[in-house]
A = this chain, B = another copy of it.
Amino acid sequence: MWRPSVNSRPGPVTPDDIARLDRDDPLAARRSLFALPEGVIYLDGNSLGALPKSVPARIAQAVEQEWGVGLIRSWNDAGWYPAPQRVGARIAPLVGAAPDEVIVADSTSVNLFKVLVAALRMRPGRRRIVGERGSFPTDAYVAAGVAELMDAEFVAVEPDAVADAIDERTAVVSLTHVNYKTGRVYDMAGITRRAHAAGALVVWDLCHTAGAMPCDLNGCDADFAVGCGYKYLNGGPGAPAFVFVAQRHQAGLRQPIAGWHGHAHPFDFVHDYVPAAGIDRMLVGTAPQLGLLALEEALKAFDGVDLQQLRRKSEQMTELFIRLADQELAPWGFGLASPRDAAQRGSQVSLTHPEGYAIMQALIARGVIGDFRAPDILRFGFAVLYVGFADLWNAVAALKDVMATGAWQAPEFSRRKAVT
């Protein structure tokens, strides 16, 4: 059940408070960079980021001119060939990495597979992957699959038990920095230090971090990271993912999917595989240019953004949403799945409710788009480049109305869709 926040300021949040927050928002002007449909409050940028306005023209150019007219010549002339490195270098500062430590390739799951196998190979005497029970499922599935393949074991524990589960048997710790359901944030520096002290490596999944809040991979001495291009980075549906390998690990790294684009000289067409010198060895097949170029264009929305301002706005938003929920939703049986301490929270607030699925569908029908995660989570993500404080006010008002009117009980809202 709902427990009001002990951190809430006394007194109700007023429309004046909201207006002041929007007026004082240094990132407010970024919203104009995005094409948001009329009548929609979009709080699902943690599932699929909104469309940056400049992307359609960029993709039209890529399709009609670069593909249609340039044809094969565009691999050289339009800069397709170095796009994985170029887009990786754009992502690097958002996650505290050097430009030559990040490359865009494949999906998050495939990249996770590559780095987990590589990490196990770096610790041949150890056969344990430690992860979190309750992390995003693909992280668990891929880790279990790698463990089976490598004659290792995958040990998944509760979040609070992770640090203690790391010992001299641990080859690699694989964690999602921000939990997809709750928004809870791991202490990247502390866990990494703990792992290194035990002689283990760490892989950070940054799917709910990159573009949502800063992190400092190199400041934390991180080993590997993976992340997604289609959430807070706004790269579009199924945008390619990124992978980070700390510079110190690159030369010795042996990832298992030895595709030609990871070769030192792919166009020499020699028989034996020789991995490329640096981060390029994480490449496998031909890069998916349409998705890659859309992601590149989308990332321009972050140009010049002060990541500390981004984080401050995100904390203000999650704090405000929780205060509004405290204030407006108390009678309706919601719980709070996200930490009340802003420092432990990513850029989302998750509520729980046994009728969460139908409630979310009813809310979406009113134009407030969040999402549902089984079994009972209503998830609201705040992509601070295009979400304003008034959006949160209106979203909570709509949610209150859905509950007060019983609108969520309409039969059409309980029918499950393929993608929830």
Give chain A's interface residues, CB within 8 Å of chain B.
35, 37, 40, 42, 44, 47-48, 50-51, 55-56, 59-60, 63-64, 66-69, 71-76, 80-82, 106-110, 113, 117, 133-134, 136-138, 140-142, 144-146, 148-149, 156, 181, 228, 230, 236-241, 256-261, 263, 266-273, 284-292, 294, 364, 369, 371, 373-374, 417-420
In the assembly, how many copies of this chain are there?
A: 2
Residues of chain B within 8 A of A371, CB atoms compared: 72
The answer to whether B285 and A288 have CB atoms under 8 Å apart is no
Residues of chain B within 8 A of A48, CB atoms compared: 67, 71-72, 75
**Given A69-B37, A238-B287: A258 in contact with B110 (beta carbons within 8 A):** no
Q: A373: nearest residue on chain B (CB-CB)?
A: B269
The answer to whether B364 and A73 have CB atoms under 8 Å apart is yes
The answer to whether A55 and B51 have CB atoms under 8 Å apart is no
The answer to whether A137 and B106 have CB atoms under 8 Å apart is no
A230 to chain B, nearest CB (A): 7
The answer to whether B286 and A238 have CB atoms under 8 Å apart is yes
A71 to chain B, nearest CB (A): 6
The answer to whether A285 and B241 have CB atoms under 8 Å apart is yes
Q: Determine the main DSSP class of A at the interface with B.
A: mixed
The answer to whether A294 and B290 have CB atoms under 8 Å apart is yes
A286: contacting residue among B55, B181, B230, B369, CB under 8 A: B230
A313 to chain B, nearest CB (A): 21
The answer to whether B35 and A257 have CB atoms under 8 Å apart is no
Between A67, A236, A420, the greatest number of chain B beta carbons within 10 A of the residue's beta carbon is seen for A67
**Given A60-B56, A267-B420, A288-B240: A138 in contact with B259 (beta carbons within 8 A):** yes
A325 to chain B, nearest CB (A): 22
The answer to whether B238 and A71 have CB atoms under 8 Å apart is no
Q: A59: nearest residue on chain B (CB-CB)?
A: B63
Q: A144: nearest residue on chain B (CB-CB)?
A: B273
Query: A134 to B371, alpha carbons, bound, how many Å?
Result: 50
**Given A75-B419, A273-B141: A68 in contact with B35 (beta carbons within 8 A):** yes
23 residue pairs from A and B, CB less than 8 Å apart: A40-B71, A48-B71, A48-B75, A50-B71, A56-B63, A59-B63, A66-B237, A73-B369, A76-B419, A107-B286, A108-B286, A109-B285, A113-B284, A137-B266, A140-B273, A142-B257, A142-B259, A145-B273, A149-B149, A237-B286, A238-B292, A269-B373, A290-B290
